[in-house]
Amino acid sequence: MRYFITGTAGFIGFHLARKLLQDGHEVVGFDGMTAYYSLRLKEARNAGLAQFPSFRFVQGMLEDRALLEGAVKGFNPDVIVHLAAQAGVRYSLENPKAYLDSNLIGSWNILEIAREVGVGHLMLASTSSVYGANPGIPFRETDKADEPLTFYAASKKSMEVMAHSYAHLYKVPTTAFRFFTVYGPWGRPDMALFKFVKAMLDDQEIEIYGEGKMSRDFTYIDDLVDSIIDLSMVAPSESNRVADIDTLSEQGPFRTVNLGGGQPVGLLDFIEVIEKTMGKPARRKMLPMQKGDVPRTFASPDLLLALTGRKPETGLDEGVDAFVRWYMEHRSEID
């Protein structure tokens, strides 16, 4: 199959593209190579994908409609996976316009192009942040998600709503999948695991927000990629509606799906796993909850399991160990 993926120099896009290429698919990657974090890391990911003859890379911003349109139409993909976005919850407090440009205008360009080419399945990366401070656990796709706590979350929920309208108007089968704290090798430097490991190796304090009382539903990257690929084969339609728990719209081929295992871990327990893996204690600096943070995330994986037959299962010990080993091997190349 032919996959067009935005964000292939990013953490998740790199892993997804590499797995698809290893499995014999064709991939065109599109990425803006922005300086939100280390370009050396993005370039190293890109170099890994460039080794595959069935991979082609196009550098450009999502807001560049003509370039994006030419890249998609010249490839005629079976599936579009839109992962590129301005990421980061806290950064959205500093530079909200970056989220407006990428996550709204850029995503609208993707919707328009998907409509024009009549793609078989449009897949959009959303986030567990859309649930805000949802009091009910686990978070189910049928829960209300109309009270985002950050502009990042608001931009992702807005993308979902725009996509629903396009699915209704133009019948483009669309799946919006909501990530839950993804981690693993080649991860982003602004994520907790990367920051904690780097600080501990440098004998610096790690900053623990919310006095360590928060919990997160951590999802290992390989599990996430498997889930995305599994879902790519299940374009929303009445033929695969799941009774009682489905979010398949009555108005068009649109569905939201959680990508999480439903196994939340407390932040202090997470840190203990890192300490055990690294064989040294962390110097801890306790800080209050940051603006926009939520106390917990907790995915219900029931819909994902019903649609694909599996859900994320990798244990935290295994996943953290894989990240630490990767970081130790590549540190000199990416710091």
Residue with tokens 């994520």: 191
Angle, helices 192-201 vs 316-334, to 10°: value is 60
Q: Are 313 and 320 in contact (CB under 8 A)?
A: no
Angle, helices 316-334 vs 267-278, to 10°: value is 60
Which tokens in the block code for residue 201? 């190796």
Active-site hit among 91, 152, 183, 220:
152
Which tokens in the block code for residue 128? 């567990």
CA atoms of 183 and 185, how far apart (whole Å)? 7
**Catalytic residue flag (residue 327):** no
Q: Are 32 and 87 in contact (CB under 8 A)?
A: no
AA letter at 147: E
- Residues 195, 199, 203, CA angle at the centre, nearest 5°? 170
CA atoms of 91 and 302, how far apart (whole Å)? 32
Q: Are 299 and 259 in contact (CB under 8 A)?
A: yes
Helix H or strand E encompassing 283: strand 283-286
CA atoms of 108 and 266, how far apart (whole Å)? 36
CA atoms of 230 and 242, how far apart (whole Å)? 16
Q: Are 282 and 200 in contact (CB under 8 A)?
A: yes
Show Cβ contacts of residue 51 under 8 Å, excluding neighbours closer than 6 positions: none
Residues tagged active-site: 152
